Structure 1
Amino acid sequence: MKENTITDMTQKSPQIPYDSQPYASLDETPLIFQYWQALLRHKFAMLAIITLCLAAGVIVTLLTTPYYTAGSRIEINREQDKVTNVEGLQSEGVGQNLEFYQTQYSLLEARSLADRVVRSERLASDTKFFDVFGIDVEQSGIITGGQKTTGASPSAAERNRRTKLAADILLQNINIAPIRGSSLVDIKFNSPSPGLSARIANRWVDEFIASNMDRRFGSSAEARQFLEKQLAILKQRLEDSERELASYADEKQIVTLTSEQNAEGRTISQKTLSSSSLEALNEALANAVAERIAAQNEARQRAGDKNALSNSALNNLREERAAAQAEYDKLMVQFEPGYPAARAIASKISSLTRSIAAEESRSRTGTNARYNEALGREQQLRAEVNKLKAEFGGERRDAIQFGIFQREVDTNRQLYDGLLQRYKEIGVAGVGSNNISIVDRAEPPTKPSSPVLLLNIALSLLAGLGVAALYVFLREQMDQTIRDPADVRTRLGVSPLGAIPAFEKGDVIEMLQDKKSPAWEAYLSISTSLSFLTEHGVPRSFLLSSTRPNEGKSTSSIALAAVLASSGKRILLIDGDMRNPSLHQFEGMINKAGLSNYLTGNDDINTLISKSETHGFDIMTSGPIPPNSAELLAGKRMTEFVERLRQVYDVVIVDGPPVLGLADIPLLAGSVEGVVYTIEAGGAKLRTIQSSMARIQESGAPIFGAIVTKVSQQGSGYGYGYAYEYSYGKDAKSNSDL
C-alpha cells in the first residue's frame, strides 16, 4: 500500500527541480567555453576555409599587376591675404591654421587640378597612358602621342569624355598625405609604370603651385580695379576739401605761416599771421614794461638817496673829495689854515664839491627822462596788443570751422596716400610671395609598392578567420541539436542526469565488465543521480526512451541495470521495444519468449525471464514481434505486470522504443514511475526532441531527466572525458550508433 502511494505521488508530482540534483557541475557552460567547443567541432571546416582564403590571397597577389608609388614633398606656409591696409579681403578671425590647411588639402585633391594635369601632360590624347591602366580607348581618328592616326579628328564630346576619364584615373590613384604636426605634405601617385608615377607626381606639384599663383594674380587684378575706383573718388574728395579750406581762409583772411603734423599725418598745430604778430607785440610789450620798471626804480632810488652809488662818475668825485678832505685835516693838525699847502687843498675841496653838485643835478634829470620814455613806449605797445587781441579773438572763432576743414583735408589725404601706396605695391603682389615650396621631387621607384605579399597573406588570413567564424556561427545557429549536456536544462527544461562519452561500437558492453572503465564510471554517476530522484532513492520502475533509434538507449539500459545490480539490488531489464528488439543481441540470447507473450495471456513469468550471467541482473526479452504492439499495450495488463514485478524486484527497467512516430511510448510510460530520456549529442533536432518529450508528458508520466550519449570530449565542456582519462588513462574514441 505504501509502495502504491509513493508510485502515485511520483507520477503526479511535477518534474524534479534542477537545484535538487546532486551535481552542480551540470550547470550552464560559460559562454566563452561554448564558443571554444563550437570551434573545436568545426575545426576541420575552419582549417579548410582559412587554407582556401590564404591560397586565394597568394594567387591574387601573384596575378595582380604591380603598382609603383612615387612621391613629391612640398611645404605650405600659412599666409593671410590682405590687399589694402584699410579693408582686408579676409577678417582677422578667418584663416585659422586648421581651416587653412584643410582648404589646401582639398585643393590638392580637386578635379580642377586633375584637369590641369591632364591638359599639361596631354593625357587625353595619350593612348599609352590608358594602356598602362588597362583601359582601351583607342578609336579611329584619335590623335595620340602627338601624331594623328588614320581617320577623322575626334569630336569635342569624345575629347571631353577622354579628358574626364583621364582625370578620374588621376584622382583614383593620387594620394595626398599630410605629415602630422608640420606644414609638409606628400603627394604620391600610383601606377603600373615607375616613370609615369614620378612624372605625374611632379606635374601635380607644379600645377598646384601654378594654380595657386593664378589665384593670387587673379585676386590682385581685381584689387587693382577696385583701388583705381577708390583712388579716383578719394582724389576728387581731397581736391574738393582743399578748395573749401583755401576759400574759407581767404574769406576770413586767415594767413597761415607754419603748421605741424603728427606721425599719422594729421595737422596738430599751425601759426597764422595774426598769432605771429600778437606774439611779437606781446614780447615787445614785455620788454617795454621791464625797461619802465627799471627806470622807475632808478628814479625812486635817486629821489630817496642823494648819495646813490649807481653813478660811477659821481662816486669817483666823492672819493677824490674825501681823500682831499683827509689830507687837509692832517695838515690842520700841524699848520694853520693860511698855510699855502692847506689853502691849495681847501681850494681843491671846494672845486670837487661844486663838481659833485653839478653831477647830481645832471643825473636826476636823465633818470626822469628815461622813465618817461619807457612809460610812453609801454603804453603804445599795450594799445597795439589790445587791438591785436580783439582781432585774434575773432580769428579763433573762425579757426574752429577752419580746423574742421583742415581735418577733412588731412583725412582725405591719408586715405588717398595709403591707397596710392598700396596701388603701387599691388602690381607685384604675386611676385616672390608664393607660399608653396618644393622640398623633394619625385624619383622613379625601383620596386613596386603593391601588392605586398606578406600584407595580402595577413589580410587573407584575417579574411579566412572571419569567414570561418561566420561559417561556425551560421552552422551553430542552424544546428538545433543537443551537443552540450548543459543545454538539456537550458533548452529542454529537464534535468541532465549525466553524459556518456563517445566510444566505439561494442566497447561499452565490454567496458562494463571492468568497474574501473570510463563507461562504468559514467553510468555509475548516472545511477547516483537517479538515487536522488524520489524519496525512496532510485525509482522502482522507469522507462528509457529516445527520440529516434540508435541514440544509445538500449546500451544505457543494460549499463544502468548492470551498475544497479552491482550494488546488490535485484534488477529486471525488460525489452519494451516489440517493434525492433535488440537486448537479446547484446546478451547473446534467443528471442523466443518474452513481453509479447505475457501481454497476449501467458502468465508464467518464470518462463519468460532469463538470468544475465555476465552482468548479474534478470532480463526479459521482447518476445515474438506482434502484428500491432500498440494494441497489446493499450490495456491495463502492462501496468499490472509492472506492479507485480515490483513485488519481486527492487528496480524494474523498461527499454522502450523511440518516441517519434510511434504510439508505444505514451502507453508504456503510464505503467512506470517516470521516464529517463536518452539524447544523442548532435543527433536529433531540438524541435523534434521537444515534440517527443511533449508526447510523453501528455501521457501523464514525468520525465526524470535526460542522459546525453556519444558526447565528444573535444566538443563538449561536460568534463567526463578528462576525469576518466586522468583516472584510468583510457582515451574515449568516437562511436557510431549503438
Structure 2
Amino acid sequence: MNNLAFQSAIADEAFPPDRDAGESRPPSQRPWILYYLDIVRRRKWLLVGAVVIAVIIGLVVTLLMTPQYTASSTLEIRRESAGFVGIEGAEPEAAGVDQEFYQTQWGLLESQSLAERVAAQLRLHENAAFFEMFGSDEHAASLRTSPSAADASQRQERIKAAADLLLDNVSIEPERLSRLVTVKFTSPSPAMSMQIVNAWGNAYIETSLERRFEATSYARTFLEERLNQLRDRLQDSERALVSYAGNQRIINIPTSTTTGSDSLAATERPIVAEDLSALNRELNEATGDRIAAESRLRESRGASPEALSNPVITQLRTRRASLASDYAQLTSQFEPEYPAARALADQIAETDRAIAREEARVRASSENAFASAVDRERMLRTRVNSLEADLLDLRGRTIQYNIFQREVDTNRQLYDALLQRYKEVGVAGGVGVNNISIVDPAKLPERPSSPNLVLNILLSIIIGGTIGVALAIALEVIDDTISDPRELGSLLGLPLLGTIPSAESDDPAEELNDPKTPLVEAYLSTLTRLAFTTEHGIPRSLAITSTRPGEGKSTTAYALARQLSRTSGGVVLVDGDMRSPSLHQMFDLANERGLSHYLAGDDHLDSMLHARPDEPTLLLAGPMPPNAAELLTGDRMALLLRELSSRFEYVIIDAPPVMGLADTPLIGSRVEGVVYVVESHETRTSLAQIAVGRLRDSHSRVLGGLLTKFQAQKAHYGYGYDYGYGYGDGRRAESEAA
C-alpha cells in the first residue's frame, strides 16, 4: 500500500493529529492560580502529611499549655474635659481626627512609669506567687528566703521587674473611630487579672490629673513674662522696617500666599520681580515654540508628520499607489511602450510632481513659522536681560530691608504662638473634671481565654497547609525532569509527535494486540504526525532512540513497525542496539545471527531475517561485537539500508540510547529521520538537551519527540493530554453486550 493509501486509512480511524497535544494552555497564558492548584493536586499527599503532622503538634502543645485568664476594662478618653470657660463654646471640639493625641494616650497607657506605679500600689514586688506565676524564679526564690531583708536598691529592682512582667502581659486595644480603649491583662489567676486591670485604669487617671495640675500653674507665669518681652521687641522691629523702606524708596506690591487650610498671609514683592517673572514665563513659552518650529522644519526635509497627515498629499499618494498598481498589472501583459502603459506612466509622473509641490508648500510654511518664533524669542530675551539688571541693582539695596523684614516676621510668629499657648493654658486651668473615665470595670473571668483548642487546630491546619504548599512548590521548582508534552518544544526544541500513555499492564507488547486500547490509539496518532514530516509521507527509514535505556524506545519501534505492517507492503524492524539487544527477548527468538554479522561482512541477509505473519519482519542485533561503533562507521550500514529499502517499504531501527555512545549518531546520519523518545517524569532536561545536541551535531534529522509513559494526572499544565484516547469505548462495550 502506498503512502497516500496509508494516510487515508489513518484518517479513517478519526484520530486527528493534534489530539494528543492536549487542550491546556502553556503556563505563560494560564492563570497563575490554576498552575499552583495543579501543583497541589499532584503533591496532595505531601500536603496532607504536612497538615496531619502540624495538627498533631498543635494538639500536643495545646494540651500541655497552662490555662490563661484575661480580664478587661473599658476606658473613655476625651480630647479635653468639659467646661464653660473655653473660648470656642461650652463643649470642646471632638477632634476625631486628632490621632496624635490619642496615640500619645495609648503610649502612656503602656508606659514603664505607669506599670511601676501599679506594681507598687498592689505590692506585687513583695508577692513571690506573682513572680512564680510568670516564670521569674530568681525573684520568687529571693522573696521566699528573705522577704523583708531588702534595701531600697533591691526594692526598686523588684518593682521594675514586676513592671516588666505587667507590660509583657497587658494589652491596650483602642476601638476604631471612638474614644474608647480596652485594657486587658492575662495571667494564670483570674482574680489577679481582674485586680491588675482595675488598678491600671485608676493609676492612669491619677497620673493624668497630676500632670495637668503641675503643668498649668508654672506655664501661665512663664508665658506672661515672655509675652511682655516679645510685644516690645515686635514694636521696635516694625518701626525700624518702615523707616528704612521710606529712606531707600523701596516699593513692593502686596501679594497673598496660602499658609494654612483657611488662612492667607500677606507678603510683598518688588514690581521689577513681578515684571521679570511674567516676561520669563513668556520667554519660556517662546523658546518652546521656537524648538517645536525648528523640529517641524527639520522633519519637513523628510517625511514630516504634517506631510504625512496632509489630506491632499495623502490623496495624491493614494492615487499614485492605485496608478502604480494598474501600471504594474498592465506591464505584466504588455510592453512599457504600449500606449495605455505610457499613459499610466505619464499620470504617475504628474502625480509625483504634484506631491513634490505640496510637500514644498508644507516645508515653506514650517520655515516661516520657525523664523517668526526666533524673532519673538530674541525680543523677549532682550527685555528679560534688561529687567534682570534692574532686579540685581534693587537687590543690592534691599538686603538690609529683608533683614528688618525677617526680624519682624520672626517676632510676630513668636508673639502669636505664645499668645495662643497662653489662652490654652488659661482654658486648661479652669477645667474642673477629668477627661478620662472608666466605662466598664473589670470582672472576674469565668473561663480561660487560652489555650483555644479549635483556634489552635485551625492555625495548625493553616501552618501545615502553608508548609505543605511551600514544599510542593519547592519540589516542583527543583524537578528537572520533562513531565509535560509542551516541554518538548520549549526545552528541547522538538516538535511533538505524540503522547504515549502508560501501559495498563506489565507487558506493553500484549496491550498492543488490542486495537481498542489507548496505547494503540496513541501510536496511530503518532503515525499521523509522522505522515506530515516529509513531502512523501512517513519517512522510509526511521531510527527510534532515547536519552538512556528503559524509556520505551524498543516498544515504540515495535508499535510503529506493527501498525505500519498492517497498512503497507512490508516493514522490517531492525534491532540496532548491538550492545544491549532486546527484540529477541520480546519475541523469544535466538539471537545467533543478525545485524552484527552483516556489518562484519556476511552478505547472507535472507538467513538473518525473521518473517512473521501479520507482523513486521525482524532483523535481530546478533552476537555482541567487540566494538559496535567501529562496525557502524563503515559502508556496510548504508549498504544494509539500501538493501532493506529495496525489499521493504519501511525500515524501522531500534537504535541504542544517545548518552555515552557513538552508535546512534552514526545510525541517525544514515536514515531519513530520527524519532526521539522521552520518558515522562523520568528524563532529566539537561541530559535530553545534550543528547539532542549530539544528534544534531551528527547531521541527523530529528523529526520530533515522543513522550512515553505519560500520566495525565501528573502533568504540569492540566488534564487535557489524554483526551480522546479510548473515546467511544463505553458505547462499543454496550453494543458488544447487546
Taking the aligned partners of 1:230 and 1:28, their CA distance within structure 2 comes to 79
Shift of 1:156: 5.4
Any conservation in 2 of the 1:511–1:517 contact (CA below 8 Å)? yes
Output the aligned Cα RMSD.
3.4
Residue 29 (structure 2) pairs with residue 29 (structure 1) = no
Q: Secondary structure at 1:480's aligned position in 2? A: coil
Aligned to 2:500: 500
Letter in 1 for 2:124: L
2: CA distance between counterparts of 1:708 and 1:456?
46
Match for residue 170 of structure 1? 166
Distance 2:87 2:551 in 1: 97
Which residue identity does 2:104 align to in structure 1?
A: T
**Amino acid in structure 2 at the alignment position of 1:685:** R
Query: What is the CA deviation profile of residues 157-181 of structure 1, one whole-angstrom value per residue up to 9, with x for unaligned ones?
Result: 5444433332222222211122223
Distance 1:135 1:517 in 2: 74
Q: Describe the shift of the 1:139–1:174 C-alpha distance in structure 2 as closer, same or farther (beyond 3 A).
A: closer
- Contact 1:599–1:633 at 8 Å: present in 2 too? yes
Do the aligned partners of 1:501 and 1:720 also contact (CA within 8 Å) in 2? no
Q: TM-score, normalised by structure 2?
A: 0.64
Is the CA contact 2:499–2:710 (under 8 Å) kept in the aligned structure 1? yes
Please give the secondary structure, in 2, of the residue aligned with 1:632: helix
Who is 1:736 aligned against? none
- 1:367-411 residue CA offsets vs partner (Å, 9 max, x unmatched): xxxxxxxxxxxxxxxxxxxxxxxxxxxxxxxxxxxxxxxxxxxxx
| Aligned-partner Cα distance in 2 for 1:665–1:511 | 28
Q: 1:14-71 CA distances to partner (integer Å, 9 max, x unpaired)?
A: xxxxxx9797647853445543443233222221111111211222222222221110
Q: Which residue, out of 189, 192, 196, partners 1:193? A: 189
Residue number in structure 2 paired with 1:184: 180
Quote the residue 2:202 is aligned against. Answer: 206
Question: Contact 1:552/1:709 (CA < 8 Å) preserved in 2?
Answer: yes
Task: Give the letter for the 1:194 counterpart.
Answer: P
Alpha-carbon distance in structure 1 between the residues aligned to 2:225 and 2:669: 112
**Secondary structure of 1:599's match?**
helix
Q: Deviations over 1:582-622 (max 9, x none)?
A: 11111222211110111111111111111233x52111110
1:183–1:125: structure 2 CA closer, same or farther, 3 Å change rule?
Answer: same
- After TM superposition, give the deviation of residue 713 of structure 1 in Å: 2.7
In the TM superposition, 1:81-160 aligns within 5 A as 97-138=98-139, 142-143=142-143, 149-150=145-146, 153-154=149-150, 158-160=154-156
- Partner in structure 1 of residue 618 of structure 2: 619
Residues of 2 paired with 1:219 and 1:48: CA distance? 64
What amino acid is the match of 1:553? K
Equivalent runs, 1:289-688 vs 2, <5 Å: 432-613=432-613, 616-688=615-687
Aligned equivalents of 2:476 and 2:223: distance in 1? Answer: 78
Residues 86 and 606 from structure 1, CA distance in 2 versus in 1: closer, same or farther, beyond 3 angstroms?
A: closer
How far apart, in 2, do the equivalents of 1:80 and 1:606 lie? 115
Q: State the distance in 2 between where 1:469 and 1:50 align.
A: 10
SS in 1 for 2:574: strand
> 2:58·2:456 contact (CA, 8 Å) conserved in 1?
yes
Letter paired with 1:113: L
Q: 1:482 to 1:557 in 2, by over 3 A?
A: same
Report the 3-state secondary structure (helix = DSSP H, G, I; strand = E; otherwise coil) of the residue aligned with 2:184. Answer: strand
Partner of 1:408: none
Counterpart of 1:647 in 2: which secondary structure?
helix
**Greater shift after overlay, 154-163 or 198-207?**
154-163
For the residues of structure 2 that align with 1:152 and 1:199, how far apart are their CA atoms?
24
Structure 1 residues 126-185: Cα deviation after superposition (integer angstroms, max 9, x where no partner): 221121122312376x446xxxx3498346554444333322222222111222232221
Name the CA shift for 1:212/1:22 in 2 (closer, same or farther; >3 Å). Answer: closer
The residue identity in structure 1 corresponding to 2:47 is: M
* 1:231 Cα deviation after fit: 14
Structure 2 matches for 1:74-85, cutoff 5 A?
Answer: 74-79=75-80
Are 1:83 and 1:220, in contact at CA under 8 Å, matched by a contact in 2? no
Quote how far apart the aligned CAs of 1:228 are: 10
Contact 2:71 2:194 in 1 (8 A): yes
1:57 aligns with 2:58: yes
CA distance in 2, matches of 1:584, 1:531: 29
Give the match's secondary structure for 2:138: coil
Once the two structures are superposed, residues 184-206 of structure 1 have per-residue CA deviations (whole angstroms, 9 ceiling, x without a partner) of: 21111112221111111111101
Shift of 1:210: 0.7
CA 1:656–1:565: 2 relative to 1, 3 Å: same
Give deviations 1:258-301, integer Å, cap 9, x for gaps. xxxxxxxxxxxxxxxxxxxxxxxxxxxxxxxxxxxxxxxxxxxx
- Partner of 1:514, secondary structure, is coil
C-alpha displacement at 1:451, in angstroms? Answer: 2.1
Shift of 1:722: 4.3
Whole-angstrom distance in 2 between the partners of 1:633 and 1:157 = 97
CA 571–448 in structure 1, closer or farther in 2 if over 3 Å, else same:
same
Contact 1:522 1:720 in 2 (8 A): no
Is the CA contact 1:557–1:655 (under 8 Å) kept in the aligned structure 2? yes
SS of corresponding position for 1:671: coil
Query: Per-residue displacement from partner, 1:607-659 (whole Å, max 9, x unpaired)?
Result: 1111233x521111101111221111121211221122112222111101111
Give the Cα separation in 2 of the matches to 1:227 and 1:587: 112
Tell me which moved more, 449-458 or 531-540: 449-458
Asked if the contact 1:502–1:712 (Cα under 8 Å) also holds between the matched residues in 2, the reply is: yes
Corresponding residue for residue 67 of structure 2: 66
Summarize deviations over 1:91-131 as a string: whole Å, max 9, x none. Answer: 99999643322222221122221121122222233221121
Q: Distance in 2 between matches of 1:117 and 1:537?
A: 94
Deviation of 1:557 (Å): 0.8
Mark the CA change 1:28 to 1:232 in structure 2 (over 3 Å): closer, same or farther: closer
Residue 538 of structure 1 aligns to a residue whose secondary structure is: coil
Corresponding residue for 1:700? 699
**Alpha-carbon contact 1:575-1:655 (below 8 Å) kept:** yes
Distance 1:229 1:700 in 2: 102
Measure, in 2, the Cα distance between the counterparts of 1:151 and 1:718. 75
Q: Distance in 1 between matches of 2:37 and 2:569?
A: 42
**Contact (CA 8 Å) 2:20, 2:723: kept in 1 or not?**
no
Closer, same or farther: CA 593–92 of 1 in aligned 2, 3 Å = same
Say whether the 8 Å CA contact 2:22–2:723 is kept in structure 1. Answer: no
Contact preservation (8 Å) 2:542, 2:651: yes
Q: Distance in 1 between matches of 2:447 and 2:61?
A: 19
Give the Cα–Cα distance (whole angstroms) in 1 for the partners of residues 700 and 224 of structure 2. Answer: 108
- SS, match of residue 714 in structure 1: helix
CA contact (8 A) 1:561 1:617 kept: yes
Is the Cα contact below 8 Å between 2:533 and 2:703 reproduced in 1? Answer: yes
Quick one: distance in 2 between partners of 1:92 and 1:446?
40
Structure 1 distance, partners of 2:701, 2:589, is 32
Verify the 8 A CA contact 1:498 1:706 in the aligned structure 2: yes
Contact 2:81 2:435 in 1 (8 A): no
Does structure 2 retain, via aligned residues, the 8 Å contact 1:127–1:137?
no
Say which SS state the counterpart of residue 113 (structure 1) adopts. Answer: helix
Question: Aligned residue for 2:45?
Answer: 44
Q: Match for 1:170: what amino acid?
A: L
Give me the identity figure in percent: 42
Distance 1:64 1:462, change over 3 A: same
Are the structure 2 counterparts of residues 618 and 35 from structure 1 closer, same or farther at C-alpha, using a change threshold of 3 Å?
farther
Q: TM-score, normalised by structure 1?
A: 0.64
Q: Distance in 2 between matches of 1:213 and 1:478?
A: 65
Residue 28 to residue 666, structure 1, CA distance change in 2 (3 Å): farther
Distance in 2 of aligned mates of 1:626 and 1:462: 62
Distance 2:452 2:94 in 1: 47
How many residue pairs match? The answer is 514
